[in-house]
Structure 1
Amino acid sequence: MEFSLKHKICFLCIMVLLPALCTSQGTFTSSRATYYGSPDCYGTPTGACGYGEYGRTVNDGQVSAVARLYRDGTGCGACYQVRCSDPQHCSSDGLNAVVTDHGEGDRTDFIFSRRAYAKLASNPAAAERLFAYGVVEIEYRRIPCRFAGNNVVVKVHENSKFPGYLAIVIQYVAGQYDITAVELWQEDAQQWRVMRRAYGAVWDTTNPTSGAIIVRILLSGSAGLKLVQSNKAIPGDWKAGVSYETDIQLN
């Protein structure tokens, strides 16, 4: 019931590198931001993280595509405080956004939904001015995600094909964590099976166990590694597109 040697080596590398990464957390980094259009000003359900509708509406639609912060999908679900630097039009706190997509603009790190971009402004009139600018100078820092009242949710991705192919997306990961690995308990073999990161926040496997499925997740954060397991299993007759709430609650 242990991770493979290959993964242990990867985890060791994370442990070595993590302290250096954490020294920058809490410090603002200068960059630029822009926005993308959507009919209702929310996010897009077709983002590169694979979140679907969750990527459109999570955090009240205050979401963003990112460039280098995407980190081959590891950055999906991360939360950032972002504020712009024009004292005449920008609010002092800015906004807290969730990463749900990958995208690159004109030397920008963030491409916000219109709903998120408007939150940079100090008032509605100022928001119109920021929209007219198109691109604004910003500073950002990573912050813990907060989803009040929500346990971690495992959604069976729409591309899953019962019973031979299972893809999942893990949602409502509160706190300041990256998902490093996901495993399923293989009841017939009495062992944990490592899932593959298919793309973005989507993890998949072929020929999953035929019974109820237990999920455990390895997280990396400012305090190091954290292994969490849900005893509330995905049912053996799981269905594509259905979300299953776990008993995991993070902060």
Structure 2
Amino acid sequence: MGFALQYCCSLLFVTVLLPAVLCCSQDFFVSSRATFYASPDSLGNPTGACGFGEYGRTVNGGEVSGVSGLYKNGTGCGACYQVRCKNPQYCSEDGAKIVVTDYGEGDRTDFILSLRAYTKLARPNMVVELQAYGVVDIEYQSIPCQYPGSNLMFKVHEHSRFPEYLAIVILYQAGVNEITSVEVWQNDCQQWRGMRRAYGAVWDMANPPRGALDLRFQVSGSAGVKWMQMRNVIPSDWKAGAAYETGIQLA
């Protein structure tokens, strides 16, 4: 995935029941338009506005998308959608299941798909014909993300500087709810300190607490607003570029 993996030693405790909060999907489709962008390998953009880096290029097999209105100032990063086009002559029934990794505006489009994702919209042997349209009418719905065998991770962003500046990115977020707030426990004053959304899915903090870090984050969706709390999720000797596994699968 382009970064070293390190694992938290202690398992975490969670303040909410994950399936109830994070697994509900919409049961209706919304009409819109989609286009695609070309890249040499047909995958995602490693410099996308969500801040995912290499993960944003290859996650979900490179079936990813930039979005405009659905970006929601970065809150929409990591969301998953089923996208299918409407021309029965060229379009497949299931379409593509994509992960939002970037921001992008097109000709009245909600999605700018990677070429690998765009080809999934087409029926077999109809890819070239569908590409010729450039922009197609589509319908989409929000769905849970599928990451078999992968747990939620916190990646320490490469721009972090131990110990005075910490930036994190949340990877393998599943469900259809949005993460709207992230906080770190400040043990010496016995209170939670809010992290700032720097951009996209990147949260940061100057002068973070010393020692292993307890985090909590707020999720918002159809089930309301809930907090998830995790102990010692980031070790005391955290390193820029490392990712720390939580032991939780947001199925």
Same fold (TM over 0.5): yes
Whether the aligned pair in 2 keeps the contact of 1:232 and 1:246 (CA below 8 Å) is no
Residue matched to 1:194: 194
Code of the residue aligned with 1:37 in structure 2: it is A
Aligned mates of 2:88, 2:174 — CA distance in 1? 31
SS class of match (1:116): helix
Equivalent position SS for 1:150:
coil
In structure 1, C-alpha distance between the alignment counterparts of 2:177 and 2:148, rounded to whole Å:
16
Percent identical residues: 65
Instruction: Give 1:9's aligned residue.
Output: none
How far the C-alpha of 1:145 sits from its partner, in A, is 1.4
**Residue deviations 1:103-126 (CA, integer Å, cap 9, x gap):** 001111100001000000111x21
What letter corresponds to residue 111 of structure 2 in structure 1?
Answer: F
- The Cα of 1:187 is off from its aligned counterpart by 2.4
Could you tell me how far 1:62 is from its partner in structure 2?
Answer: 0.6
Counterpart CA distance in 2 for 1:96 and 1:75 is 15
Residues 165 and 137 of structure 1: CA distance in aligned 2, closer, same or farther (over 3 Å): same
Is residue 27–residue 141 contact of structure 1 (8 Å, CA) maintained in 2? Answer: yes
Contact 1:61 1:116 in 2 (8 A): yes
The 1-side partners of 2:191 and 2:152 are apart by 23
Check conservation: 1:146, 1:174, Cα contact below 8 A. yes
SS at match of 1:250: coil
SS in 2 for 1:132: helix
Whole-Å separation in 1 of the counterparts to 2:38 and 2:230: 38
2:127 is aligned with 1:131: no
Q: Does 1:79 align with 2:108?
A: no
Q: TM-score, normalised by structure 2?
A: 0.87
| Aligned 1:1-251 pairs, distance under 5 A | 25-123=26-124, 125-251=125-251
Whether contact under 8 Å (1:229, 1:248) holds in the other structure is no
Distance (whole Å) between structure 1 residues aligned to residue 216 and residue 150 of structure 2:
18
1:25: how far off?
3.1
The superposition leaves residues 130-153 of structure 1 with CA deviations (integer Å, 9 ceiling, x where unpaired) of: 112111111111111121222110
**1:65–1:110 contact (8 Å) kept in structure 2:** yes
CA apart distance, 1:231: 2.5
Aligned residue-pair number: 228
| Cα deviation code 1:68-92 (max 9, x no counterpart) | 1101111111111100011111001
Q: Which has the higher helix share?
A: 1
Query: For residues 84 and 135 of structure 2, what CA distance do their matches in structure 1 show?
Result: 13
| Amino acid of the structure 1 residue aligned with 2:54 | E
How far residue 65 of structure 1 moved from its aligned partner, in angstroms, is 0.1
Query: How far does residue 232 in structure 1 lie from its aligned partner after superposition?
Result: 4.2
Structure 1 runs of 4+ aligned residues shifted over 6 Å read none
Instruction: Map Cα deviations across residues 24-48 of structure 1 (whole Å, 9 max, x no partner).
Output: 9322111110111111111011000
CA-CA distance at 1:101 after TM superposition: 0.3
CA contact (8 A) 2:156 2:167 kept: yes
More relative contact order, 1 or 2 (CA 8 Å, 6+ apart): 2
Q: TM-score, normalised by structure 1?
A: 0.87
Contact 1:212–1:236, Cα closer than 8 Å, also in 2: yes
